[in-house]
Amino acid sequence: MTLEPGLYHLLTISTGLFFIGVYGFLTRKNLVTMLMSIELILNSVNLNFIAFNKYLWPHRLDGVFFTLFVIAIAAAEAAVAIAIVINIYRNNRSINVEQTEEMKY
Amino acid sequence: MTLQQMILLIPGIPLFAFLMLGLFSKKIPCNYAATAGTILMGVTTVLSCFVAFGYFTAFGKIDGIYQPMIPFLYHWLPLTDLLEINMGILLDPISALMLFVVSFISLMVHIYSMAYMKDESRIAVYYAFLSLFTFAMLGLVMASNIFQLYIFWELVGLSSFLLIGFYYQKPAAVRAAKKAFIVTRFADLGMLIGILIISYEGKSLDFISLIDHFTNSPQQISGTFLGIASLQWALALIFIGGAGKSALFPLHIWLPDAMEGPTPVSALIHAATMVVAGVFLIARLFPVYAIAAPDLLQGIGYVGAFTALFAALIACTQTDIKRILAYSTMSQIGYMMLALGVAGYGAESGLGFTASLFHLFTHALFKALLFLCAGAIIHFVHSNEMRDMGGLKKLMPITHLCFLIGCLAIAGIPPFAGFFSKEEILLAACQHNRMIYFVSLFTAGLTAFYMFRLYFSIFWNKPFQQHHSHHGEGGPAMMLPLIVLGIGSVSAGFIPFGKWVSSDGRPLISHFHLSFSILPVLLSLAGIAIAAFYFFEKKKTVETTVNAMGGLFRVAKGKFYIDEIYQFVTKKIIFNFIAKPAAWIDKNLIDGLVNAMGNSTVSLSNQIKGIQSGKIQMYAGIFLIGVIGLAILAIYYWN
Amino acid sequence: MTGNQIIFYLLALLTLGSAVLAVSTRHIFRAAVFLLFALMGMAGLFFWMNYAFIAAVQIVVYVGGITVLIIFSIFLTQETGEKLPQQLWSRRFIAALASFCALAFTLTQIFQHTFNASKQTAIEVSVQQIGLQMLGTNQYGYALPFELISILLLAAMIGCIVIAIRLKPTS
């Protein structure tokens, strides 16, 4: 493992970000903070795409495009999620995730 | 119209009538149902007469012997090489005879019911059931193989059940229907086992090949059970089935109770046609019984004789008019059975066979006559009990004459029909078995006694309460069958029966023995005289006789307590030792097992349902674990 | 230790550290700000990799759009003041353990794999190239996904409005 930053270092960072996001999603009780964790996950994916594009296929731009699309989709998803959170807040006066357990057996 | 088409129409028309009347009973008005049923029955009767007549005179006889013909055969279930269940029509002397008897009596009952059941709201259903019964009985007598006979046997039992329980709002009628069905069903179990054994032994279900196999080919004892050959078991079990249907002792208990049904039904089913099905069955298989199981046949004779005596003793003490007639039917069927029992196969020894079927024929006529007269009387008096009747001689002249004719016929007074048939039975019994002869002689005297006791009580002078009679005797629809049957009872004795129906198909000329016939006639006249004496004697002779007889009278009046014995056995033994444990096993073990399976599924699902908890983070956690697991599987274990 | 490496490791530290703090802090506003720092760190990493366009898009959309949106939602749900309640310690421990095991597993897989780099000449990542290829309709063009993304954004916009709308009762 060289000190020179290469593909492996970037992949390490992105994996670490991914699992930090997973930990945050599983642990947090507030809906908005759960959304933040999801954004972290999506960002790690972006980093992965760009890293692969730079180091493995420098003659192509596919990774860039995918990153752009992922950013766009993440934005749309965050917007819809916030709208839902606001709706939940209106009905329940709270955005604790334990108040959203109605769809069960 | 070919013979085959005619023969198929004979049971086909009543079946059609049953379906039409049964399906559309709510929609057709009452009188149309009766008329339609009767007209269809009339067509059937015409066809039956045509076929029977044609068989006996035109095409049945080949080389002087009446051959069994099979005009129709449908290969229904060819199961294996040996086992083939067909549906066919067998035409031979006894089935031609029964065709005529069944359809003629059924027609008389149909006509009679038009007036008798006029006020009944469910008359369409009634005629539907009558047609169903006629169809089943015609199918039974024309069955070409024993399995088909069994099918129609059960169907006859079903229609009897439906008709006995016709007034289903009366609990007594429901009980009687259940009793009839259960007792005959119980006997039919024996018959089914017998059928299976005999078809296994005879390698066929067909009557003609069964008879052929057992009378011609040498007997190989293929198996014994408790020391008796399996063929004897089979024939005995089949006889038990016949005994149930024909109300022989001890399976007779259902017949008196079956009088809860409407009187025309009693006339048709429980006097003339269904109860002789047992006799018909033995007659059908007669060559097998006579040649392969002569001891069994003798046993059958004893059972018949005992039943005749037993029923006659009970009939002397009863007071319900229909019950007396029912016991009289039982007694006469005993006569028919004992006549079969003392017969052999082949020319002169087959006299009993001819006598039995002759008595079947004449008995159908006069017993139906008696029952229909009883129906007219009950209709007039609105009661079944003898003590409510009396002095009806002037009020119901036609009925009186017909009832008298019927009583004379059943008592065996010449020249009425019963004399000839009974004389032949007694002759056959005298030739073969002295004990049976004396028993049947004594029973003949008893028959005359109790029938005339009934006759005098109904028609001769006792003060009659006038407020019962607000209508006349009964319309022409009720009187016409009485007159026709009366004419039949008078004239049927002169038919040379042996020329047509005999045990081996060859004509049997029976001679009239004057010296032999005097004794039974004298006994019958003595019976009539004793009945008249008891009736007209002003002193209290009846009570003194009853007290003198004491216990015997009480026992006979209580029908020899056979019903009570059956009740005891059923309630105390079968219910407690068999039914209750079986019910316990069913409720606790079997139901418990099924319930446990259901409950365990429910509890398991209750425990599993916690997975669907609605918690997003739990879902995500399980998702993560699943993905990691799949990844490990894919990377390390995928080849 | 060249400047390249130092900058890289600093950016990595910033990103990861902010991410960890974003998911573990008990003040919601601080979580939002730490998220912002993490996203900025990501943009820095993109810059370090010479993908300036993506970095710019990251800043504009993520930092300027999504983080602001999250802060808006925090305001709208009035949770700014109090400390966030925490999950049960056992739950957090198990989640951390699971995440850590998964992380270790993934990293071992990554490090055991040899990535074969392509030997072809690198293409210049300029806005002109990106534009030409994205809107191109040849074999390597991304015109169709581009159109689909635009439709998706439209649908998302309409969906948000419909979900969050508060209808005034008609009098």
Of A22, A98, A104, the CB nearest to B612: A104
Residue C102 distance to chain B (closest CA, Å): 7
Contact check, Cβ <8 Å, C118/A47 = no
Instruction: Return the CA Rg of chain C.
Output: 21
CA-to-CA distance for B51 and B6, rounded, in angstroms?
Answer: 8
Residue A87 distance to chain B (closest CA, Å): 17
**What band does B462 get if pLDDT is binned at 50, 70 and 90?**
low
Q: Which residues of B fall within a CB distance of 8 Å from C105?
A: 628, 631-632
The pLDDT assigned to B43 comes to 92
In 3-state terms, what secondary structure has residue B320? strand
Asked if A35 has any chain C CB less than 8 Å from its own CB, the reply is yes
Residue A40 falls within a domain, yes or no? yes
Contact check, Cβ <8 Å, A58/C118 = yes
| Residue-wise pLDDT tens digits, B171-215 | 999 999 999 999 999 999 999 999 998 888 888 888 888 888 887
| Residue-wise pLDDT tens digits, B272-329 | 788 889 999 999 999 888 888 888 888 999 999 999 999 999 998 888 889 999 999 9
Give the pLDDT mean for B426-454. 89
DSSP code, position B259? G
Percent of chain B whose pLDDT exceeds 90: 31
CA-to-CA distance for B366 and B412, rounded, in angstroms?
Answer: 11
In 3-state terms, what secondary structure has residue C123? coil
Give the pLDDT mean for A85-90. 90
Contact check, Cβ <8 Å, A46/C42 = yes
Query: Average per-residue pLDDT in chain B?
Result: 85
Contact check, Cβ <8 Å, C62/A8 = no
Torsion sign (Cα): B541, B543, B546, B550: negative
Select the more confidently predicted residue: C35 or B354: C35
In 3-state terms, what secondary structure has residue B84? strand
- CA B32-B35-B38 angle, to 5 degrees, is 145
Of A25, A26, A103, the CB nearest to B614: A103
| Residue-wise pLDDT tens digits, B492-509 | 888 887 778 877 777 777
Q: Which of A29, B548, B547 is nearest to C31 (CA)?
A: A29
| Residue-wise pLDDT tens digits, B80-91 | 877 788 888 888
Give the pLDDT mean for B397-405. 89
**What band does B221 get if pLDDT is binned at 50, 70 and 90?**
low
| C contact test, residue of A1, A3, A17 with most C CBs within 10 A | A17
The pLDDT assigned to B207 comes to 86
Domain with C55, as residue range(s), is: 3-109+123-164
Query: Contact at 8 Å (CB) between B251 and B187?
Result: yes
| CA quadruple B573, B577, B582, B588: dihedral, nearest 10 | 130
> Which chain A residue has its CA at the smallest distance from B606's CA?
A105
Chain A partners (3+ C-beta pairs within 8 A): B, C
Contact check, Cβ <8 Å, B631/C105 = yes
- Which residues, other chains included, contact B552 with Cβ-Cβ below 8 Å and sequence gap of 6+? none
CA-to-CA distance for B124 and B35, rounded, in angstroms?
Answer: 10
Domain with A88, as residue range(s), is: 30-95
CA-to-CA distance for B45 and B109, rounded, in angstroms?
Answer: 12
Query: Contact at 8 Å (CB) between B94 and B501?
Result: yes
Residue C135 falls within a domain, yes or no? yes
On the question of pLDDT at B463 being above 70, the answer is: no
Asked if A30 has any chain C CB less than 8 Å from its own CB, the reply is yes
Number of helices (H), then strands (E), in chain C: 7, 0
| B contact test, residue of C23, C105, C113 with most B CBs within 10 A | C105
Contact check, Cβ <8 Å, A23/C96 = yes
| A contact test, residue of B616, B618, B625 with most A CBs within 10 A | B616
DSSP code, position B600? H
Residue C118 falls within a domain, yes or no? no
Q: Which residues of A fall within a CB distance of 8 Å from B621?
A: 26
Contact check, Cβ <8 Å, C125/A61 = yes
Asked if A6 has any chain C CB less than 8 Å from its own CB, the reply is no
Query: Average per-residue pLDDT in chain C?
Result: 89
Residue C89 falls within a domain, yes or no? yes
In 3-state terms, what secondary structure has residue B143? strand
On the question of pLDDT at B105 being above 90, the answer is: yes
Torsion sign (Cα): B376, B379, B384, B385: negative
The pLDDT assigned to B470 comes to 58
Asked if C128 has any chain A CB less than 8 Å from its own CB, the reply is no
Residue C53 falls within a domain, yes or no? yes
| Residue-wise pLDDT tens digits, B270-279 | 777 888 899 9
Q: ipTM score of the complex? A: 0.92
Q: What CATH number does residue C34 fall under?
A: 1.20.120.1200
Of A29, A30, A75, the CB nearest to C66: A75
Most confident range (mean pLDDT) of B84-93, C19-28, C86-95 is C19-28
Residue C98 distance to chain B (closest CA, Å): 8
Q: Which residues of C fall within a CB distance of 8 Å from B632?
A: 105
Select the more confidently predicted residue: C96 or C80: C96
| Residue-wise pLDDT tens digits, B416-429 | 888 888 888 888 88
Q: Which residues of A fall within a CB distance of 8 Å from B609?
A: 105
The pLDDT assigned to B164 comes to 92
Residues 593-622 of B with CB under 8 A from A: 609-610, 612-617, 620-621
For B9, the token pair is 């129409």
- CA B115-B116-B119 angle, to 5 degrees, is 85
Looking up tokens 């052999």 gives: B344
For C51, the token pair is 């993908």
User: Domain tally for chain C?
Assistant: 1
In DSSP terms, A96 is beta-bridged to A30
Q: Which residues of C fall within a CB distance of 8 Å from B624?
A: 98, 102
| Residue-wise pLDDT tens digits, C27-43 | 889 999 999 999 999 99
Asked if B616 has any chain C CB less than 8 Å from its own CB, the reply is no
Residue B197 CB coordination number (10 Å): 21
Q: Which residues of B fall within a CB distance of 8 Å from A34?
A: 616
Asked if B621 has any chain C CB less than 8 Å from its own CB, the reply is yes
Residue A6 falls within a domain, yes or no? no
> Which chain B residue has its CA at the smallest distance from C99's CA?
B624
Residue B606 distance to chain A (closest CA, Å): 10
Percent of chain C whose pLDDT exceeds 70: 98
Q: Which residues of C fall within a CB distance of 8 Å from B625?
A: 98
On the question of pLDDT at A98 being above 60, the answer is: yes
CA-to-CA distance for B150 and B143, rounded, in angstroms?
Answer: 9
The pLDDT assigned to B639 comes to 67
The pLDDT assigned to B389 comes to 76
CA-to-CA distance for B247 and B577, rounded, in angstroms?
Answer: 28
CA-to-CA distance for B75 and B98, rounded, in angstroms?
Answer: 25
On the question of pLDDT at B520 being above 80, the answer is: yes
Asked if B628 has any chain C CB less than 8 Å from its own CB, the reply is yes
The pLDDT assigned to A94 comes to 85
Asked if C100 has any chain B CB less than 8 Å from its own CB, the reply is no
Give the pLDDT mean for B463-491. 75
The pLDDT assigned to B222 comes to 64
Residue C115 falls within a domain, yes or no? no
Percent of chain C whose pLDDT exceeds 90: 56
What's the burial of B155, exposed, middle or buried (CB within 10 Å: 0-12/13-18/19+)? middle
Percent of chain B whose pLDDT exceeds 70: 95
CA-to-CA distance for B188 and C50, rounded, in angstroms?
Answer: 101
Asked if B618 has any chain C CB less than 8 Å from its own CB, the reply is no
- Which residues, other chains included, contact B180 with Cβ-Cβ below 8 Å and sequence gap of 6+? B157, B160, B161, B164, B254, B255, B257, B258
Query: Contact at 8 Å (CB) between B306 and B330?
Result: no
For B561, the token pair is 């307590």
Residue A87 falls within a domain, yes or no? yes
| Residue-wise pLDDT tens digits, B8-40 | 889 999 999 999 888 887 777 777 888 888 999
Residues 69-108 of C with CB under 8 A from A: 69-70, 72-74, 76-77, 79, 84-87, 91-92, 95-96, 98-100, 102-103, 106-107
For the full predicted model, state whether its pTM sits above 0.80.
no
On the question of pLDDT at B559 being above 70, the answer is: yes
Contact check, Cβ <8 Å, B616/A97 = yes
Looking up tokens 């004239």 gives: B491
* Single-letter residue type at B584: W
Beta strand segments in B102-213, E: none
Across B511-520, C22-31, C143-152, least confident range: B511-520
User: Domain tally for chain A?
Assistant: 1
Residue C116 falls within a domain, yes or no? no
CA-to-CA distance for C60 and C76, rounded, in angstroms?
Answer: 23
Query: Contact at 8 Å (CB) between B212 and B220?
Result: no
Asked if A88 has any chain B CB less than 8 Å from its own CB, the reply is no
> Which chain A residue has its CA at the smallest distance from B618's CA?
A26
Indicate the angle between helix axes B514-536 and B417-432, nearest 10 degrees: 120
Residue A63 distance to chain B (closest CA, Å): 24
Q: Which residues of A fall within a CB distance of 8 Å from C54?
A: 46, 50, 64, 67-68
CA-to-CA distance for B438 and B344, rounded, in angstroms?
Answer: 20
Contact check, Cβ <8 Å, C101/B628 = yes
Contact check, Cβ <8 Å, C95/B621 = yes
